[in-house]
Amino acid sequence: MIRILHTADLHLGVETYGRTGEGGVNSRITDYFTTLDELVSTAVKERFDVFLIAGDIFENERPKNYVISRFARRIRRLLDAGVAVVITPGNHETTSSARVPSVLETIKALEPTSHDGKGIACHVLGNQPKAPGDIDSLGDISTIVTRSGKLQILAMPYPRRSEILTSEQMGNQSREEIKAFAGKLFLDRIKDLTISAVQNLPTIFVGHFGLKEAMLKPGIMGCLAEDVVIRLYDLMASLNSGKVTFSYVALGHYHNPQMPTTNLSPIAQTEDLDGDMDSRLGIIPCQSWDNDYLEHISKSDDSLLPDGNKKRVRLIKTAYSGSPDRKDFSDGSRLRSFIDLSVNTETSQGRCVRIKQSRQLRQLTLTRPDMPREELEEKFFNSSFWHDIYLAGKNSETLDETEEKLGFPLPIFRLKIPEESRHQWSEIREWLEELNMFHRIYVYTIPKPKQERSGEIIEAAESPVTAVKRYLESVNDDFITSHSKDILELAYEILSKAGVT
């Protein structure tokens, strides 16, 4: 049995909402690596055979040197522990042209191998075409060595239309026609690689692209504007075109751990960071893969395959892994998920063992400065997210005991309080720590809106013109900000005529 940890969309290098931290490194970069360290530690401690990242390792195609070196050190740790690493390119770290080397070429060129002599290595799989329209060089199929046996991997990169098609092929077609044509060539290449695959080896597919039946984000089906979107039936038909048996399809790109399916799923409730509830269409979680009705799928009406292809195809277990939330905040790691997969080396059948989520950041904002504790208790009781954590924490002696009762990591907590409540913070923090429901606690104060201070500004101004200028600077309004010079000149003209400048 080969155990695979499947994750995706690490986006290392994000600096949004961060602060300059120790050594001049942005705190958000540190947060993301802290989260990655949780996954690496899990893979090492639980002796996974493969650490699989299905695209978007980096936030952009030219990450900073210390981001690359930090990532390389994590690879080194995995390899030294006997865990093979598999990476496929996503759209974020892939350059706009295959002729320009990407940062992944640096990782590939290092050819890091562990010291045990078993050939455990880091593999960057899934080639871009060597030139626009050179479909024969797109993607690849390889056999890698793991400590539990050999594993065959068909890998495909993010499908860029400009790389799959030549300018002549794109011609004067509409955007949708171009995307459909690129999608068909993409599927044809998958079919060709599948036919060339070696039989009697456990085999998986790895890719970074969108499926039409998948959720772009929780409760919302769709795709990104530039995406070449593939139909689930068409992908399965291509993978079933050869004699090899695929056990699993590992995908990245959509930040929402899920198993794409044409079957409807029950309504699920989701909650934003401040505890507001929203009922949306949920997704079928990967734990339900054992259900028989998911074993086959019929052809969709908008299939890219020829009309004569009417066969029913086996639905290979397919999953997106990664972060289900793109909101970035300082001093907290994002919710991070991975899928634990076991592949039978004899039958090539895969089974999803679990989905595990790492620690996440949650936020609450207080609005009543005179009674913060009462407002917090009310939010904890009324929120479906906080309610169980609150009760478990009150009845536990330690944080570890609370986590054991809940079955998932306690969140990092960010509390936003009005400026007027600052003097009560020590008392509130002491109470929060006694609840045993937070891994870490941070507090941020909400300053008074600039508009509320405008009267004070005008009173303190040395002259009417200065008062107008400082007032315009204090107002948080896009129109005023963009036209402040014109407004100030007009005010000066009026005040001059009135003789009060």
Three-state secondary structure of 277-333: EEEEECCCCHHHHHCHHHCEECCCCCCCCCCCCCCCEECCCEEECCCCCCCCCCCCC
Residue 155 and residue 142 in contact, taking contact as beta carbons nearer than 8 Å: yes
Asked whether residue 269 carries a pLDDT value surpassing 50, the answer given is no
**C-alpha span between 15 and 288 (Å, rounded):** 36
Instruction: Give dist(CA 188, CA 305) in Å, integer.
Output: 9
Highest mean pLDDT among 27-31, 309-313, 470-474, 495-499: 27-31
- 384-425 per-position pLDDT tens digit: 778 889 999 989 999 999 988 987 778 888 888 888 888 888
Residue range 55-91, pLDDT digits in tens: 888 888 888 888 888 898 999 899 989 999 999 988 8
Please report how the helices 372-382 and 384-394 are oriented relative to each other, as an axis angle in degrees rounded to 10: 110
d(CA 190, CA 210): 15
Q: What pLDDT digit, counting tens, does each position of 128-144 carry?
A: 888 888 889 889 999 99
Task: Say whether pLDDT at 279 is over 50.
Answer: no
Helices marked H in 197-282: 232-239
In this predicted structure, what is the pLDDT of residue 275? 57
Taking residue 495's Cβ as centre, other Cβ atoms within 10 Å add up to 16
Are 30 and 363 in contact by the 8 Å Cβ rule? The answer is no
Q: What is the enclosing helix (H) or strand (E) of 27? A: helix 27-45
Segment 474-493 shows an average pLDDT of 72
Tokens for 395, please give them: 């009845």
Least confident range of 48-52, 95-99, 177-181, 334-338: 95-99
Tokens of 404: 């054991």
Residue 495 has pLDDT above 70, yes or no: yes
* Continuous segment of H or E residues that includes residue 379: helix 372-382
With 60 as the cut, is the pLDDT of residue 114 above it? no
Q: Please check the confidence at residue 277 and state whether its pLDDT lies above 70.
A: no
Residues 6+ apart with CB under 8 A from 377: none
CB 84 within 8 A of CB 48: no
Write down the mean pLDDT value for the chain: 78
**What pLDDT, on a 0 to 100 scale, did the predictor assign at position 461?**
53
Question: Among 205-219, 280-294, 360-374, 425-439, where is mean pLDDT lowest?
Answer: 280-294
Asked if 476 and 467 touch (Cβ cutoff 8 Å), the reply is no
Give residues with Cβ within 8 angstroms of 306, minimum separation 6.
none
Q: CA 13 to CA 18: how far, in whole Å?
A: 11
**3-state SS assignment for residue 365:** strand
Over residues 447-468, the mean pLDDT reads 60
pLDDT of residue 144: 92
Distances (CA, A) of 156 to 32, 84, 111, 209, 447: 25, 19, 20, 9, 49
- Residue 49: which of 92, 88, 86, 7 has the closest Cα? 86
Give residue 96's pLDDT: 62
Is residue 463's pLDDT more than 70?
Answer: no
In this predicted structure, what is the pLDDT of residue 281? 34
Cβ count within 10 A of residue 402? 23
Fold of 2-357: Purple Acid Phosphatase; chain A, domain 2 (3.60.21)
What's residue 219's pLDDT?
62
What end-to-end distance do the CA atoms of the chain give, in Å? 84
**Where does the pLDDT of residue 197 fall: very low under 50, low under 70, confident under 90, or very high at 90 and above?**
very high
C-alpha angle 169-172-177 in degrees, rounded to nearest 5: 70
**What pLDDT is recorded for position 398?**
92
Answer yes or no: is pLDDT of 185 > 70.
Answer: yes
When pLDDT is cut at 50, 70 and 90, the band that residue 99 belongs to is low
Tell me how far the alpha carbon of residue 335 is from its chain's centroid: 9
Q: Is the pLDDT of residue 204 over 90?
A: yes
Which whole number is the average pLDDT over 337-360?
Answer: 71
What pLDDT, on a 0 to 100 scale, did the predictor assign at position 292?
A: 44
Q: What angle do CA 128, 320, 275 make, to 5 degrees?
A: 130
Residue-level pLDDT at 142? 93
Q: How far apart are CA 62 and CA 96, in angstroms?
A: 12
Q: Tell me what the mean pLDDT of segment 91-117 comes to.
A: 64
Tokens for 186, please give them: 């993409």
- Residue 18 pLDDT: 66
- Residue 42 pLDDT exceeds 50: yes
pLDDT at res. 235? 92
174-183, 273-282, 439-448: range with lowest mean pLDDT: 273-282
Give the per-residue pLDDT at 105: 74
Q: Of 106-110, 171-175, 284-288, where does mean pLDDT reach its minimum?
A: 284-288
DSSP notation for 248-260: EEEEESSSS-B--
H-helix or E-strand spanning residue 194: helix 175-195
CA distance 219 to 217: 6
28, 295 contact by CB (below 8 A): no
Cα(111)–Cα(8) distance, integer angstroms: 21
Q: Which of 44-58, 272-286, 435-449 has the largest mean confidence? A: 44-58
- Residue 305: predicted pLDDT: 78
